Amino acid sequence: AGSVVRRDRFSGGPARGFLSSLAADERIFEADLAVDRAHVVMLAECGVVDDDTAGDILRALDAIEVDGHATLPDGEDVHEAIETAVIDGVGADGGKMHTARSRNDEVAACIRYRLREDVLEALEATLALREALAAVASEHVETTMPGYTHLQPAQPTTVAHWALSYEGAIRRDTERLLEAYARINASPLGGAAFAGTTFDIDRERTAELLGFDSVIENSMDASSSRDFLLETVQALSTLSTTLSGLAEDVILFANRGFVDLSDDYSSTSSIMPQKKNPDTLELVRAVAGDAAAGVQGLTTTLKGLPRAYNRDLQRATPHAWSTVDAVLEATRVAAGAVATAEWNEDALAAGAGAGFSTATGVADLLAANGVPFRTAHEIVAIAAENGADYAAIESAAEDVLGEPLENYADSGAVESALDPAASVASRDSTGGPAPDAVESQFESARDALES
């Protein structure tokens, strides 16, 4: 009879479709069944609902699961539709399922339950990407490449050093997601509408049955807070920003012939037959926009909401789903593109020394032999204007210092500083690109991946 009253009261009206989240709730259909089951088991264990009724309700839930979300009766949302289906199957006693709870704590539990799964998938994708970067690094410890600042040739480095720079950043993105996961994984169930319940329920038990690590104690907080959504979407947005830089780098490297993307991660042109375009990475780069939109959408939806539950929250949730979907896919694509790309060592080596990228190493050499660094910088800057070779350095040194270059550095040392590979090998400070220094960064990456 209860459901008849509800149907009469909310039978339609022009705002019916606007009110309903039933279609979008497909995402939490399985979660709602799990939450219903845990709640009913707990109610039976606590003696709030008798075992026979609980059994009938659980069997009805199984049947609903088999039939699927698409066959649910109409309802304002998946919670109401499943309850209606349970009552249709069990009779009025099916209505006992909703004892000692509200849709408010129910939906919060469903979102957390489902988001946990999505975040685990996103975490796995970040690990796969880090593995791919570590694999590139292990193969290219000695592959020199140009390093840029302001997109201008700056100093030579190696492909391994570049790859591990992103592994480090994505390691932190992984940590941020893990921290968000820990706060998602707490149970709001039993908070009811916001004010708890008169029934003698066991909130720890439903938390345990649903695999939550803890219970959100304050019932008003439990039913109304969505900071876990915001935090998760922010962590995903940060990850997507890292991905956009990685994508941009690989797009540039492809443009310069340093890297060849696999056909699987390339696209072609409908008119220009010769084209091989890095479209997948351009889309990865663009997903940072989707994620920023998710953060913005959630922040502005949640901003200023009073306690406790408000229906605005129904429109907050989809921002989280769209963000996690976009960023998960982008992470997987980035991992695939990195894992399958071919590095063109000859082009990279040629590029490594371009634009007098070894200039800093020459200045460092002079400074290490007693020339004040600022004076050394000036000498090499003059040489840069006059051919950027040994002869130019020699004559600039003579002009500025008033004595021959050999008084400070012999020609062999200068030639070595001018060589990109030797230049890289000499920069062995902690975290630097020299193979020895990269070896230790690689070990850190491996340790982090194994833990």
| Residues annotated as catalytic (active site), given as ranges | 150, 269
Within 68-146, residue ranges assigned H as helices are 78-90, 103-139
Measured from the CB atom, the residue of 275 and 315 that comes closer to ligand ARG is 315
Quote the least distance from Cβ 24 to ligand ARG, whole Å.
8
Contact residues for 288 (Cβ-Cβ < 8 A; gap 6+): 237, 240, 241, 243, 244
The torsion angles phi and psi of 269, rounded to 5 degrees, stand at: -110, 145
- List the beta bridge partners of residue 277: 267
- Nearest CA to 126 among 181, 206, 80? 181
Q: CB of 325 within 8 A of CB of 293?
A: no
Q: How many degrees, rounded to 5, is the angle at CA 58 between CA 57 and CA 61?
A: 90
Measured from the CB atom, the residue of 303 and 311 that comes closer to ligand ARG is 311
Residues in contact with ligand ARG by CB under 6 A are 21, 77, 103-104, 107, 309, 311, 313-314, 317
**Alpha carbon 350 to chain centroid, angstroms:** 34
Quote the least distance from Cβ 25 to ligand ARG, whole Å.
7
Please count the residues of the chain: 451
Measured from the CB atom, the residue of 77 and 167 that comes closer to ligand ARG is 77
Q: State the Rg of the chain over Cα.
A: 31
Quote the least distance from Cβ 170 to ligand ARG, whole Å.
32
Quick one: tokens of 145? Answer: 């490449």
Measured from the CB atom, the residue of 311 and 374 that comes closer to ligand ARG is 311
- Give the largest Cα separation in the chain, rounded: 104
**Alpha carbon 118 to chain centroid, angstroms:** 11
Measured from the CB atom, the residue of 114 and 332 that comes closer to ligand ARG is 114
- Nearest CA to 269 among 280, 260, 279? 279
Quote the least distance from Cβ 211 to ligand ARG, whole Å.
21
Quote the least distance from Cβ 212 to ligand ARG, whole Å.
19
